[in-house]
């Protein structure tokens, strides 16, 4: 990220490149803690946050950013390395400017080249870095959701499994999944969610009780997306409500979503196969690779009946089969 802020033709760019090469080399030979002072990381952390915050400001001050980078440099080069080096040694190693005049002033004042605000990828990386640097969640914080804890535990345990290195997604054998569909409920309708059984309990009330924490998260998300009153959950946010409930009930929509996780997983794996540290979005090529490797087919056993039902629904919504709306979705 820092490389993109400095002109490639400048001496400052060469210094930054040499510094990262030394850090990478120490990691490769597994001597990072022997080469660098860990206590200096605290000061680097605070100064890096300051730099990132300046980059995120709408009206960026170039002089302030240059000063922040100079401040960061003055901590990293003299204090981060355990082995003390003279100024001549630093120049020889490419970690200090050749000119003594430059060393006396600010290193980065004429070398900065700020990215255009339209460069969304760059500033998304800056925001992500800011989140990483400023998030201070307790290590003892545990999710209240049982399913989240189960998945985290399963993933954590899998890290210790001895597994052969997986081939690239491009090299894997393509596979297909077929799910038969007869006449099952696809999505819960508004009426189904509201209707109470003989005990006076509706499906929505039951799901709200079973998935209490997830319901609170759902309502919070809906409010963040513009919901003002609770009644809007049955009007403008009805589709979101139906999906939330259907994904937690015995519906066909839940099955389809589960099967399509294969596609999302392959997309992510294809992205990891070819992405660099600075890439943050899946490309069309990676989406195409996932599409080539995974096919999902829903086999409608009453296909013609469903087609006719959907046609009637479009022509006469008032008298059409309400289940057709779910099929169209």
Q: Where are the domains of the chain?
A: 2-134, 169-328
3-class SS of residue 36: strand
Per the CB < 8 A criterion, the answer to whether 242 and 193 are in contact is yes
Q: Which residues of 207-232 are buried (b: 16+ CB within 10 A; e: fewer)?
A: bbeebeebbeebbeebeeeebeeeee
- Where is 293: in which H helix or E strand? helix 284-293
Predicted pLDDT of residue 114: 81
- Tell me the pLDDT band of 104, cut-offs 50, 70 and 90: very low
The model's pTM is 0.61
How far is 271 from 288, CA to CA, in rounded Å? 11
Q: What is the pLDDT of residues 20-62, one digit of tens each?
A: 888 888 888 888 888 888 888 888 888 888 888 888 888 888 8
Q: What is the pLDDT of residues 192-217, one digit of tens each?
A: 999 998 989 999 999 999 999 999 99
Q: CA 152 → CA 131, 142, 159, 171, 307, distances in Å?
A: 21, 10, 11, 29, 42
Predicted pLDDT of residue 179: 93
- Tell me the pLDDT band of 238, cut-offs 50, 70 and 90: very high
- Of 253 and 114, the one with more pLDDT: 253
The mean of the pLDDT values for the chain is 84
Predicted pLDDT of residue 61: 83
Q: What is the pLDDT of residues 310-320, one digit of tens each?
A: 676 666 554 54
Q: CA 322 → CA 190, 217, 252, distances in Å?
A: 10, 29, 16
How far is 15 from 220, CA to CA, in rounded Å? 47
- Where is 51: in which H helix or E strand? helix 40-56
- Of 10 and 306, the one with more pLDDT: 10
Asked if the model's pLDDT at residue 267 lies above 90, the reply is: yes
Q: For the residues 73-88, what does the mean pLDDT come to?
A: 82
Which residues, 6 or more positions from 116, have their beta carbon under 8 angstroms from its beta carbon?
A: none
Nearest Cα residue to 106 out of 4, 2, 10, 3: 10
DSSP-assigned beta bridge partners for residue 175: 294
CA dihedral 317, 322, 326, 329 (to 10 degrees): 0
Asked if the model's pLDDT at residue 221 lies above 90, the reply is: yes
Q: What is the pLDDT of residues 128-155, one digit of tens each?
A: 888 888 887 665 677 788 888 898 889 8
Predicted pLDDT of residue 142: 75
């Amino acid at each position: 990220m820092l490389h993109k802020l400095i002109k490639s033709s400048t001496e400052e760019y060469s210094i930054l490149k040499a510094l990262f090469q030394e850090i990478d080399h120490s990691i490769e030979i597994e001597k990072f803690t022997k080469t660098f002072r860990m206590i200096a990381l605290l000061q680097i952390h605070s100064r890096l946050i300051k730099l990132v915050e300046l980059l995120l400001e709408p009206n960026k001050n170039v002089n302030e950013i240059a000063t922040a980078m100079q401040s960061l440099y003055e901590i990293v080069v003299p204090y981060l390395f355990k082995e003390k080096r003279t100024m001549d040694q630093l120049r020889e190693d490419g970690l200090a400017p050749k000119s003594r005049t430059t060393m006396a002033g600010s290193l980065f004042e004429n070398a900065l080249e700020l990215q255009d605000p339209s460069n969304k990828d760059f500033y998304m990386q800056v925001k992500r870095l800011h989140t990483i640097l400023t998030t201070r969640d307790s290590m003892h914080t545990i999710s209240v959701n049982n399913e989240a804890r189960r998945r985290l535990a399963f993933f954590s345990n899998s890290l210790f499994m001895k597994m052969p290195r997986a081939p690239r997604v491009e090299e894997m054998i393509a596979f297909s999944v077929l799910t038969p569909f007869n006449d099952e409920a696809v999505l819960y309708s508004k009426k189904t969610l509201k209707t109470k059984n003989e005990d006076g309990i509706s499906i929505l009330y039951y799901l709200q009780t079973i998935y209490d924490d997830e319901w609170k998260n759902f309502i919070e998300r809906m409010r963040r997306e513009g919901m003002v009153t609770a009644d809007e959950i049955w009007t403008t946010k009805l589709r979101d409500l139906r999906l939330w409930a259907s994904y937690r009930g015995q519906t066909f929509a839940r099955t389809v979503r589960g099967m399509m996780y294969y596609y999302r997983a392959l997309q992510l794996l294809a992205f990891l196969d070819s992405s660099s540290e600075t890439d943050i979005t899946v490309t069309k090529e990676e989406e195409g690779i996932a599409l080539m490797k995974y096919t999902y087919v829903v086999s409608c056993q009453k296909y013609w009946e469903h087609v006719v039902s959907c046609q009637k629904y479009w022509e006469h919504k008032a008298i059409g089969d309400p289940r057709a709306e779910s099929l169209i979705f």
